[in-house]
Structure 1
Amino acid sequence: MALKFNGTDVPQSGEVRFNNTALAAVKMGATEVWKRQKTVYPGVPVANTQNLGYAAYFTVTNSGSDIKVDAFGGTERGYGRVMLGGFSTIGYSQIYFANLRAFITNSFSHIKVALSDINGNVVQQLIYSEANGFDTTYTASTKFNINSPNGNYYLMLEVESGATHLGKNATILMNGCYLI
């Protein structure tokens, strides 16, 4: 929710200061009218990568502002996960992606996005599909409630592509993740 103050729009990514102190939220009476968002990615590093299938068929490309996690179905299965973070959700109740595209072009495959620990153990699953032909983009309009907002988490991006000689993929592309 953007805040308009004296004719000036203050986006959630902006800053509101009172007595030279940056505020996390602004309330009008008991109603919260603005809350500052926290950037998870870009910002947090790749904390752990796990290759769970054939090494040549799992890749991670991270420019620092865009990340691509890809499993390629070759003669063996491609399967792996990346954990970004850690980060605290204390004071935040939702998570969203500026642009996250997940797609599968192979049967016996899946994609998963979750809040996890450093080892990839899922604390809360956000996105999951194993449907061949799945191709969905998540934007700021899709917000996910955080079940336990007072935790320290990692953002897990997991892909698996079953073995196939056809070279099909399970891919996650992301360029922004935020807490509000």
Structure 2
Amino acid sequence: MALVFNNVTVPQSGNVIYNGTSLSAVKMGATEVWKRQKTVYPGAPVANTQNLGYGPYFTVTNNGSDIKVDAFGGTERGWGRVIHGPFSSAGYSKLYFSALRAYITNAFSKVSVSLGDINGNWVQRLIYHDTGESLGGYDVTFGSGDLFTINSANANYYLILEVDSGATARGLNATIQMNGCYLI
């Protein structure tokens, strides 16, 4: 939420300075009325893309403000990850997405969003779903009301979007589509 003070609007990405100190939050009494946020995406570049399955069955579409990571189950397994960063979580304890949709239409498939390192090793899983033998049916959208607590604040992280679609001849998929990630 933006802060309006003396007809000046301060967005969450802006700064509030009081007595020479940059504040991370502003309270009116006991009620928080503004909290600084940091943009991870768009902003943090794609640092690494790893195609871990059969090449043609993993795709990434990124226009700079919206990214779609997709794995298709064909005659082989589609599996890959996109790694954004690095970014520092210093001074922040939560993360949220303006819109992140994770969906699976295939059996033996997974989607996950994690904080981790440049090699794709996760430190903290934020979102994870595995269909197992069932035929997909997972379709969830996370928005600004879904807050994720960062377990190790004050760390340098990469945001990892990973999709894994089992091998079927039907070409079904596992997809993550995101258009904003923020620290607060």
Q: 2:151 aligns with which of 140, 144, 147?
A: 147
Query: Helix, strand or coil: the match of 1:115?
Result: strand
Query: Helix, strand or coil: the match of 1:14?
Result: coil
Give distance in 2, aligned partners of 1:56 and 1:143. Answer: 34
Give distance in 2, aligned partners of 1:145 and 1:17. Answer: 26
Specify the alignment match of 1:48 in structure 2.
48
Query: Helix, strand or coil: the match of 1:137?
Result: strand
String of CA shifts for 1:43-93, please: whole Å, max 9, x gaps. 111101111110110011111111110000010000011110000000000
Specify the alignment match of 1:76 in structure 2.
76
Give distance in 2, aligned partners of 1:157 and 1:112. Answer: 6
Give distance in 1, aligned partners of 2:140 and 2:29. Answer: 40
Specify the alignment match of 2:121 in structure 1.
121
Query: Helix, strand or coil: the match of 2:56?
Result: helix
Query: Helix, strand or coil: the match of 1:56?
Result: helix
Among all aligned residue pairs of Structure 1 and Structure 2, give the percentage whose two residues are the same amino acid: 70
Map residues 16-31 of structure 1 onto 2, 5 A cutoff. 16-18=16-18, 23-26=23-26
Q: How many residues get paired?
A: 180
Amino acid at match of 1:144: F
Unaligned runs of 5+ in 1: none
String of CA shifts for 1:12-44, please: whole Å, max 9, x gaps. 233324467754333568976532100000011
Q: 1:136 aligns with which of 137, 140, 150?
A: 140
Q: 1:159 aligns with which of 155, 160, 163?
A: 163
Amino acid at match of 1:42: P
TM-score (norm 1): 0.91
TM-score (norm 2): 0.89
String of CA shifts for 1:145-177, please: whole Å, max 9, x gaps. 000011000000000000011110000000100
Amino acid at match of 1:164: T
Q: CA RMSD in A?
A: 2.1
Give distance in 1, aligned partners of 2:21 and 2:149. Answer: 28
Unaligned runs of 5+ in 2: none
Specify the alignment match of 1:175 in structure 2.
179
Give distance in 1, aligned partners of 2:151 and 2:28. Answer: 26
